[in-house]
Structure 1
């Protein structure tokens, strides 16, 4: 197993604390393995394995426990058999309606340390979430970073460009590191994951009848990565294909995609007035390998894919990310974390002077002293006027140095 240090660092301070640890992320992004990593850490601390209570709630054998009273009774009975702290690990807790009632009761009545995973962003919203408000921490798991991908495939890191193109094409879902050299196997696996997210997490959950419309909307979002999107634009596109869904339907389907962690919505911010713009938001796919399945060759739209990779990497590093609006220009990403702030422009190559002028010129008039970057695949350093040019691969690997 790859030791996902960036996430372990987030959870370690809360081990043995009266805080429910909720691990969220899209399907097959590594949540279940992360639970095992936490158990390994507990064992290193001297905790006996017989103090662990682990359940995968997608396992058919555990289906009776997806009723919250039954889950509560089972866990309560198990904790009574354990001397000392019970460490409870529940995988895919969203399978249990009203799970918050069972978990909150266990938290207040037993000596336990609770870890949950879930594949839906609505896990912690709604009226019942108030039962555990202030008593949980959410840890968001993303697919493998490029650095993790290199570690997983045991790369000697002597041919990073070739390894990176493999990563561009197949994405970062952890299992792919085992079969990354078999393109057909990778394609089949990604297709199965995409169908699982669409059919299990969206179609079944929301009782959607028009699956074709849903997939066409997802195709549109994938093709427009990095471009401002509105429901009316999607409606106009669908009209050209002789489909006329309502704007409400389109908005609902988009929301379902973000709730299932298939896409992430990124707001735009007016840099000078600090005003958040609610319209024309951008969308990025959680794993760019899935985009390859939805649309085809990622290398054909390499600019968009690189932008997607950089966005997810910034989120993985814990930044809040927005699109910056600077007069009539746009800055790809404004990344903030506490008092830290960085600006990023992303392009494939600075191929000519007009591209250089456009990318570096996006910062014209931004007067603050926060770091400003232009990321590209170029190896030559184009830094100028206090703006840092950085190779994208170097950017992706900088946390490992």
Structure 2
């Protein structure tokens, strides 16, 4: 149901909870975003919101959004896309995670990720979709890292992708998030990205595996619930 406090003050059904969240979403869109940023095309804003929600956990840029709308026979200016995404950040509906090149030690200006301020927003507006489980798990980990005071980036190291690089007071942790490690290919993909980074900062692969919890060469494999509760 998400973390909006009102949902946990009473024994709401799922349907009622989603209605409450949808009403919150609607009022935030209308009041905090449309009015504050003087947005004229509310329907376009809502379509951009749904595009972002549908791509939680995927890297994309303003150009991706513009190209998508072009494929839908709707031309949209690139600056408008960025202005609307900035407005959604300003209303705390979305958080942006910039992409960081570990080898080049620079923040990249493209292929960032956006995450929801509350997972309940996705379910209330678009319903539950099994195919989005990996993105939702990333979203949970992202919010936990933010809650603990980390500055969070998505990472690039050579040709490999790292879900999260989290920094705080000169310390770092690296995190890969996956639903389950169900094949050798998945294990290789998730662990190899972290094993390629030659420093001494903690590295985690976070999944929902109940039985397989083996660490690999110092990279810790932990269940999501354990990761959320442990100190680091």
TM-score normalised to structure 2 length = 0.95
- 1:315 aligned to 112, 124, 146, which one? 146
2:23 maps to 1:192: yes
Q: Which 4+ stretches in 1 moved above 4 angstroms?
A: none
* Partner secondary structure for residue 194 of structure 2: coil
Contact (CA 8 Å) 1:180, 1:186: kept in 2 or not? no
Partner of 1:350: 181
Match of 2:229 in 1: 397
Kindly name which structure, 1 or 2, has the bigger radius of gyration based on alpha carbons: 1
Q: Which moved more, 1:317-326 or 1:234-243?
A: 234-243
Checking the alignment, whether the CA contact within 8 Å between 1:257 and 1:263 is kept in structure 2 is: yes
Give the structure 2 partner of residue 248 of structure 1.
79
Query: In angstroms, what is the RMSD of aligned CA positions?
Result: 1.3
1:180, CA displacement in angstroms? 5.4
> Residues 15-164 of structure 1: matches in 2 within 5 Å?
none
Which range moves more in the overlay, 293-302 or 386-395?
293-302
Question: Out of 195, 201, 217, which is 1:370 matched to?
Answer: 201
| Partner SS state of residue 293, structure 1 | helix
Q: 1:353 to 1:179 in 2, by over 3 A?
A: farther
**TM-fit CA distance, 1:364:** 3.6
Q: CA-to-partner distance for each residue in 1:216-235, whole Å, 9 max, x for gaps?
A: 00111111112111111101
Determine if the alignment matches structure 1 residue 264 to structure 2 residue 84.
Answer: no
Count of residue pairs brought into register by the alignment: 230
Question: Any conservation in 2 of the 1:291–1:298 contact (CA below 8 Å)?
Answer: no
1:178 maps to what in 2? 9
Cα distance 1:180–1:220, how it changes in 2: closer, same or farther (>3 A)?
farther
Task: After TM superposition, give the deviation of residue 365 of structure 1 in Å.
Answer: 2.3
C-alpha distance 289-385 of structure 1, shift in aligned 2 (>3 A): same
Give the Cα–Cα distance (whole angstroms) in 2 for the partners of residues 273 and 242 of structure 1.
Answer: 38
- For structure 2, the 5+ residue unaligned runs are none
Take 2:218 and 2:205, find their aligned partners in 1: how far apart are those partners? 11
Distance 2:89 2:154 in 1: 18
* Equivalent-residue separation in structure 2 for 1:277 and 1:236 (angstroms): 20
TM-score, structure 1 length as denominator? Answer: 0.56
How far off its partner does 1:299 sit? 4.0
Contact 1:179 1:185 survives alignment (8 Å) = no
Where structure 1 has 5 or more consecutive residues not aligned to the other structure, the ranges are: 1-169
Determine helix, strand or coil for the equivalent of 1:363.
helix
